[in-house]
Amino acid sequence: MEPIYITGAGVVSAIGIGKAETLASLQAERSGIREIRYLKSTHTDLPVGEVQLSNDEMAERLGLGDSQRYTRTALIGKLALQEALQEAQLAGEALDEVHFISGTTVGGMDRREQIHAQEPGCGREIAEIATHNCAACTEMIAEGLGDFASMATLSTACSSATNAIITGANMLRCGLADIVVVGGAECLSLFHLNGFNALMILDHQPCRPFDRDRAGLNLGEGAAYLVMETAASAQQRGLKPKFVLSGYANTCDAFHQTASSPEGEGAYLAMTAALKTAGLNPEDIQYINAHGTGTPNNDESESKAILRVFGEHYPPVSSTKSFTGHTTSASGSIEAVFCLLALEHQFLPKNINWKTPMEEGIQPVTEEVAHPRIQHILSNAFGFGGNDSSLIFSKVNE
């Protein structure tokens, strides 16, 4: 099959604004999980991975006027999209042949919560609410950065951004597009902080994915976008891409509304299908960026799925959610950028906070690995309802 080249990427999360800050934090083992600062919540005992900028500060960076016009998801997304377009040499260019696909679930819920808290009859409710849905959030992210050929919004919970990447890849493969910009954005809101807290799966300490004593996840926020294009498009634009999306797959085991299946059936099917799409064998993968939420259910289920696919000699595995928190709908694209950084700089992101091995489970990367040779990386993103997706990123041989 024709290669799907990645020619640009942008990322924003609790560990940095942009790829340079993000890389520095990953290599220095600097987590962004800390006390709540920007979200106005009474649950100050719950650590989170917030982007360390206020809405006003983000608006200023973006050269926007009134930050109140924008949801926090949109501001975070704009920062990531701007970096991706710049790296792909699309910033300031006509985008009328470029398609934009973004994943989100919370969308503009943060602004809805602010309006709800105001006195009724303020005169802004109807106009404001119209900007809070997920599709409007995608339009708001794109606003001012270019007029895209089309825009679409995906919402499949925590696999949303990954499924946006898969959708864009299918458009390229089917000849429906030559260039796509794909990923996702999500801000923290009371809606999903309280929702996850009600499920009793939030840890009151920094999360410990794949640890025997893990107690849940920490929520986070962020955004990331990839620019992907056909070989003909990249060649025509004079680019020399470093990476390809070599494999991908989406499955849905529909085991439970929120829980993963005991044997990780959906995860197993997604990983095996992604390997098949890429034409690779399990032993060809040098690193797995796990979904690794830190919840008892996910980590046990994903661990079993990895062992089913790779056996006892599985490649190095880590969850970077111990750095950023679980950024829900944006997590798949944020971690996709982490994978690209690992491929480019040849390092293995560590699974920080880990101490004690799980019984009959995988043991993640916690120590420095000298001179790893990384050619292919598999990245997992699993959503509620068993909507599970896997991506494989590969380095282009020079």
As to burial, measured by CB atoms within 10 angstroms (0-12 exposed, 13-18 middle, 19+ buried), residue 240 is exposed
Backbone angles phi, psi at 347, to 5 degrees: -140, 160
Q: How far apart are CA 391 and CA 270, in angstroms?
A: 9
Q: Which residues form the catalytic set?
A: 158, 291, 326
Output the six-digit token pair for 176: 């429906």
Q: What is the distance of C-alpha 106 from the center of its chain? A: 14
Residue type, 210: F
Residue type, 240: K
Residues 6+ apart with CB under 8 A from 340: 6, 9, 242, 243, 393
DSSP string, 257-287: SSPPPTT-HHHHHHHHHHHHHHT--GGG--E
Output the six-digit token pair for 111: 């602004």
Backbone angles phi, psi at 215, to 5 degrees: -130, 10
265-278 and 296-310 are packed helices; what angle lies between their axes, rounded to 10 degrees? 40
Which CB contacts under 8 angstroms, 24+ apart, belong to 269-274?
A: 269/388, 270/380, 270/382, 270/388, 270/389, 270/390, 271/305, 271/306, 271/309, 271/378, 271/380, 271/390, 272/309, 273/249, 273/390, 274/247, 274/248, 274/249, 274/378, 274/390, 274/391, 274/392
Q: How far apart are CA 334 and CA 328, in angstroms?
A: 10
